[in-house]
Structure 1
Amino acid sequence: MKILALKVDVDTLRGHREGVLNLLNLFDRLSLKASFFFSMGPDNSGKAIVRIFRKGFLGKMLRTKAPSTYGFKTLFYGTLIKAPMIAQSFPGLLKETARRGHDFGIHAWDHVKWQDRIHKLPVTTIEADLRRAFDLFYQYTGHQPRSFAAPGWQVSQDALLVLDSMRLRYTSNTRGLFPYVPRWGRKAFSTLEIPTTLPTMDELLGRRGLKGEEMARHLASLLKEGLNVFTLHAEMEGLSQIGVFESFLRSAMDQGAKCVPLSFVADQIPRDELPRCEIGIGTVEGRAGTLAVQATEA
């Protein structure tokens, strides 16, 4: 059977305010459940401008029409415009996600800070930021978060140490092929890692002419037997590309794919049979810079 696990990253205030509700309504229409990962603190999207010096970043911004996708105000948050607080601006959406029966967890406290600086942050800062996110999540939902997905697939050994101490049900921090238990150098961790296995829409959009229904068909053609993990973004699939995303989902279901949240995957995996794999640093076509990837089996 083809399993399509749906992972929704919520990076910005606009994605939280508009994209999440659009996706919740779409999933209701299709009778599907997904995993939502919320950025809880400030929207500092404007500070991401420093990535312009990374190879491929400017091209990706142009291909994906970033100003219309994210909104012009978003591109100045944290620089010319004071960074708004994401979850605190619309806290009811976290409860609504829970009420509709979806899996949900933490994406970050400050998405840009984590994505751009995680390898430089001291462990005390990582722990403090995660604690702020976890505490606010509990305040708004009454639930302790049991899962985490790293912004931009960026993670460090110190970050894994902190996440491991939180006894999470699973994480989704890397790109890879199948679920595993991670190692980083000589350090072994215990938390189940469910990597993203498929390319994202923003990595494909505009490349080789892919857009619209052709994009939906291409994504559906990539589905293989067994587990497929697709990461979508509330700012893209929840807004400008929601029609394309719906077409992809319908094509997947027409193939007989079962669409599930990541929590379903976590529940089905016998922990004593999981391979232990190294986390390495690699690249993905269509994405600027490097990111955490599933490497060799240890």
Structure 2
Amino acid sequence: MTDNCALALKIDVDTLKGYREGLPRLLDVLKRREIRASIFFSMGPDNSGKALRRIFRRGFVSKMLRTRAPSTYGLRTLLYGTLLPAPMIVESRPDLLRRAVDEGHDCGIHAWDHVLWQDRLTGLSREAVREQFGRAMELFERVTGRTPACCAAPGWQTTPDALAVQDELGFDYCSDVRGAGPAGPFLPRMGGTTFRTPQIPTTLPTLDELWGTDGLNAETVNDRYLDLLEPGLNVHTIHTEMEGGAMSAVFEGFLDACIAGEMAFLTLREALADRGDLPVSDVAPRGIPGRAGTVAVRLQEASGG
């Protein structure tokens, strides 16, 4: 860890198990430490079983084995949407979303159907993208009484149509991309078009990307994270199924080490405040270590906004 670090915690809720079991545990962890995070909710059906179609992607099976996915997510989760009906996530316990909002966290949309977005986005029309956002936003507003003002794409998947719809919806910011180093918010350019909605990229590898690589385990992975922190804004994406589940103690150890090092904690909304004119950066799909397939990556910075 170095001086003048700031850390924004971005929490993704992907599944029913993560929502009902992992989220309350993480909210308790954060409340004890008086830390606020940015939390993004998969609002609709849990179709996690359909994610097994990724088995043909290079690196998917090894990642599943390395991260012990069956025990992390549970057998039922791995069957939802195939052999078992897809349960609704937020509607099963609306009070949990309300709790996150009431406790001061920066809450937004992750998806309506997480698996559909992550696996099929490139084949969706702009109207279909608009419909996915609309269903998620309607339920979010019905549960909380607030219009969601931010989103974070499942699997860091985005397209020019998705970015255009975000502009239409007037989001304050989105967090759909990956980017090395604490570069901070920017305006995305994709398919030759520069979009208006700021992006705040995830800068640190996720736990499932590091776990089991180079011998990293519960005793060593936090040392790697502390070594990766850089001056400026660091954005760490965590998942309710991992850091809110079997890896909860590992995550608590990381937080306590950051607190001991006098790390400043921010929400993504706070990280965006008072930034002035934002740089423009190109976004394109690229592979990254530890993850199967490609994700949207911030490539380069250009002058102007």
Instruction: Tell me the TM-score normalised to structure 2 length.
Output: 0.96
Q: Following TM superposition, by how much is the alpha carbon of 1:293 offset from its aligned partner in structure 2, in angstroms?
A: 0.2
**1:163-184: CA deviations, max 9, x gaps?**
1111111000000142210111
Distance 1:89 1:268 in 2: 38
What does residue 49 of structure 2 align with?
A: 46
Residue 79 (structure 2) aligned to one of 71, 76, 81: 76
Residue 293 (structure 2) aligned to one of 281, 289, 292: 289
Distance 1:111 1:185 in 2: 24
**1:140-161: CA deviations, max 9, x gaps?**
0001001000000001111111
Q: Following TM superposition, by how much is the alpha carbon of 1:209 offset from its aligned partner in structure 2, in angstroms?
A: 1.3
Distance 1:59 1:230 in 2: 23
Q: Following TM superposition, by how much is the alpha carbon of 1:256 offset from its aligned partner in structure 2, in angstroms?
A: 2.1
Q: Following TM superposition, by how much is the alpha carbon of 1:219 offset from its aligned partner in structure 2, in angstroms?
A: 0.9
What does residue 277 of structure 1 align with?
A: 281
**Contact residue 6 and residue 34 of structure 1 kept, 8 A:** yes
Distance 2:124 2:258 in 1: 40
What does residue 182 of structure 1 align with?
A: 188
Matches within 5 A, 1:197-276: 197-270=203-276, 272=277, 274-276=278-280
- Mean alpha-carbon deviation: is it higher for 250-259 or for 21-30? 250-259
**Contact residue 8 and residue 34 of structure 1 kept, 8 A:** yes
Distance 1:268 1:6 in 2: 19
Distance 1:103 1:199 in 2: 21
Q: How many residues align?
A: 296
CA RMSD of aligned residues (A): 0.8
Task: Note the residue ranges of structure 2 that are not aligned, 5 or more in a row.
Answer: none
Q: Following TM superposition, by how much is the alpha carbon of 1:196 offset from its aligned partner in structure 2, in angstroms?
A: 0.2
Task: Note the residue ranges of structure 1 that are not aligned, 5 or more in a row.
Answer: none
Q: Percent identity?
A: 50
Q: Following TM superposition, by how much is the alpha carbon of 1:73 offset from its aligned partner in structure 2, in angstroms?
A: 0.2
Distance 1:146 1:218 in 2: 33
Residue 168 in 1 paired to residue 174 in 2? no
Query: Secondary structure in 1 aligned to 2:78?
Result: helix
Q: Following TM superposition, by how much is the alpha carbon of 1:269 offset from its aligned partner in structure 2, in angstroms?
A: 1.7
Q: Following TM superposition, by how much is the alpha carbon of 1:246 offset from its aligned partner in structure 2, in angstroms?
A: 0.7
Residue 17 in 1 paired to residue 23 in 2? no
Q: Following TM superposition, by how much is the alpha carbon of 1:254 offset from its aligned partner in structure 2, in angstroms?
A: 2.0
Distance 2:192 2:291 in 1: 29
